[in-house]
């Protein structure tokens, strides 16, 4: 009769954090940068705008020339040139002169305002002006947004459309990023088969392969898939191979705590088990180790437990080895349900939360598969807490807050 010692969740986090492999960098085209993690601080090569720029289609002129203009009392000036976007004018604007100008074009010398086209009527070179312009009106001044050599982005952020646009504006067509982690997923279990309309007796469809591989993809990693029977030698060979090819190994199945189980035993033979069994619910039979310096996370065979273990331990790890901070907001919600827990154990219960309340996501008795797609958040009961009563303020994390994007 063997009862393993469970370690607390904070100790598990600490051991995992102490065994992080930090990733390397690569330089890629900015066109391929979407959802990569920035590997350098970005300093602007340019002022932005690079020159005093017209913010409107209209006429560049001297603001004080317009101060007496109104709808009933237009004034007239002379149009001396035209500047389209991408173009510029060598001419200087003097009193009672104006230059036709497009949005985005550089303000000509002498002018200090732009009057919108709709407040003018042009007759040949004469321009009737029906409205006033204040100095610098409709002008975006050089360097207003960004000054040359300013630091505009810190490294280790996820590159999204707007930040990629910012990097482009700063003058970069290439960018240094963290290499994508390459992760091997090895599902194990004699009973597992591929999806099929008919099933032999005792066979179960390998849903973990589909669930966990896509969770890995959702964190921006490259995933490779392998499968083993419950055979220690087969598992050993697959893990050794993976340890040389990949940055991280994930397994499912073969982690039962009560006995020697195939995956944990195999890792013990070819590497090191750093812990086996964590005081969490669900997901207790979770193990972590190293083989050839490659970290290996051993998840349960039960898909629902494996998903929760992934949420608790793997997301954080993958964020952090890419240089990203992982801090999903913990929010406070009023519980509409009573949930018992045990001291010393951390519970992650899938629930449905809205802007104020938290409720169960499932009827009691619903099984594994339904629980996989249920809820929008975890309710967390930490080890100092014996449970949540109806009306208590509970800690929740929305699933969305745990995602890369």
The footprint of a second copy on residues 126-185 (CB under 8 A) is 130, 140, 144-146, 160-173
Give the separation between CA 373 and CA 366, rounded to whole angstroms: 11
Is the peptide bond prior to 175 cis by the omega test (within 30 degrees of 0)?
Answer: no
- For the bound state, the minimum distance from the C-beta of residue 8 to a second copy, rounded and expressed in Å, comes to 20
Binding mask of the shown chain, residues 368 to 387, with x at each position contacting a second copy by CB under 8 A: xxx-xx--------------
Residues 32-61 that bind a second copy (CB under 8 A): 34, 45-46, 48-51, 53, 57
Residues 239-278 that bind a second copy (CB under 8 A): 256, 258-259, 261
Residues 181-240 that bind a second copy (CB under 8 A): 189-192, 194-199, 201-215, 217-218, 230
Judged by CB under 8 A, which of 363, 367, 384, 391 binds a second copy? 367
How many residues interact with a second copy (rule CB under 8 A)? 100
Give the separation between CA 191 and CA 204, rounded to whole angstroms: 6
Question: What burial class does residue 73 get, using C-beta atoms within 10 Å of its C-beta: 0-12 exposed, 13-18 middle, 19+ buried?
Answer: exposed
Give the separation between CA 104 and CA 350, rounded to whole angstroms: 52
- For the bound state, the minimum distance from the C-beta of residue 343 to a second copy, rounded and expressed in Å, comes to 21
Judged by beta carbon, residue 19 or residue 169, the one nearer a second copy is 169
Residues 76-95 that bind a second copy (CB under 8 A): 84-88
Judged by CB under 8 A, which of 96, 121, 334, 343 binds a second copy? 121
Contact window for a second copy (CB under 8 A) among 30-38, 272-280, 336-344, 380-388: 30-38
Residues 327-366 that bind a second copy (CB under 8 A): 329, 331-332, 355, 365-366
Supply the DSSP string of 282-299, one letter for each residue: S--S-EEEEETTEEEEEE
Binding mask of the shown chain, residues 291 to 310, with x at each position contacting a second copy by CB under 8 A: ----------xxx---x---
Which residues are CB-contacts of 177 (< 8 A; sequence separation ≥ 6)?
25, 26, 27, 28, 33, 36, 37, 38, 39, 159
Q: Give the pairing of strands 339-340 and 387-388.
A: antiparallel
> If we measure between CA atoms, which residue out of 81, 135, 131 comes closest to residue 108?
81
């Amino acid at each position: 009769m063997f009862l393993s010692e469970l370690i607390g969740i904070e100790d598990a986090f600490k051991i995992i954090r102490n065994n992080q492999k930090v990733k390397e960098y690569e330089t890629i085209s900015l066109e391929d940068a979407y959802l990569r993690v920035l590997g350098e601080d970005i300093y602007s090569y340019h002022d932005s705008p690079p020159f005093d720029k017209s913010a409107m289609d209209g006429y560049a002129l001297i603001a004080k020339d317009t101060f007496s203009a109104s709808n009933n009392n237009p004034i007239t000036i002379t149009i001396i040139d035209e500047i389209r976007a991408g173009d510029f004018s060598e001419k200087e604007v003097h009193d009672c002169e104006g230059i036709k100008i497009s949005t985005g074009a550089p303000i000509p010398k002498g002018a200090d305002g732009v009057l919108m086209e709709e407040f003018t009527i042009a007759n040949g070179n004469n321009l009737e002006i029906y409205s006033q312009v204040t100095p610098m009106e409709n002008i975006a001044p050089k360097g207003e947004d960004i000054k040359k050599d300013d630091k505009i982005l810190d490294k280790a952020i996820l590159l999204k459309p707007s930040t990629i646009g910012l990097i482009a504006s700063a003058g970069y067509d290439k960018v240094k990023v963290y290499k994508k982690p390459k992760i091997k997923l090895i599902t194990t279990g004699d009973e597992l088969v591929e999806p099929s309309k008919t099933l032999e007796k005792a066979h179960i469809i390998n849903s973990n392969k589909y669930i966990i591989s896509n969770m890995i993809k959702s964190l921006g990693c490259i995933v490779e898939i392998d499968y083993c029977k419950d055979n220690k030698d087969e598992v050993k060979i697959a893990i050794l191979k993976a340890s040389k090819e990949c940055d991280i190994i994930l397994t499912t199945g073969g982690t039962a705590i009560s006995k020697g189980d195939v995956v944990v035993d195999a890792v013990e033979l070819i590497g090191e088990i750093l812990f086996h069994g964590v005081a969490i619910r669900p997901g207790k039979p979770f193990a972590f180790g190293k083989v050839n310096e490659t970290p290996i996370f051993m998840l349960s065979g039960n898909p629902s437990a494996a998903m929760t273990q992934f949420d608790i331990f793997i997301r954080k790890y993958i964020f952090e080895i890419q240089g990203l901070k992982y801090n999903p907001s913990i929010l406070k919600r009023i519980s509409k349900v009573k949930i018992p827990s045990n001291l010393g154990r951390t519970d992650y219960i899938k629930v449905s939360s809205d802007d104020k309340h938290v409720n169960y996501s499932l009827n009691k008795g619903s099984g594994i598969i339904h629980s996989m797609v249920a809820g929008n958040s975890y309710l967390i009961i930490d080890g100092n807490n014996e449970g949540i009563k109806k009306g208590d303020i509970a800690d929740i994390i929305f699933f969305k807050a745990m995602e890369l994007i």
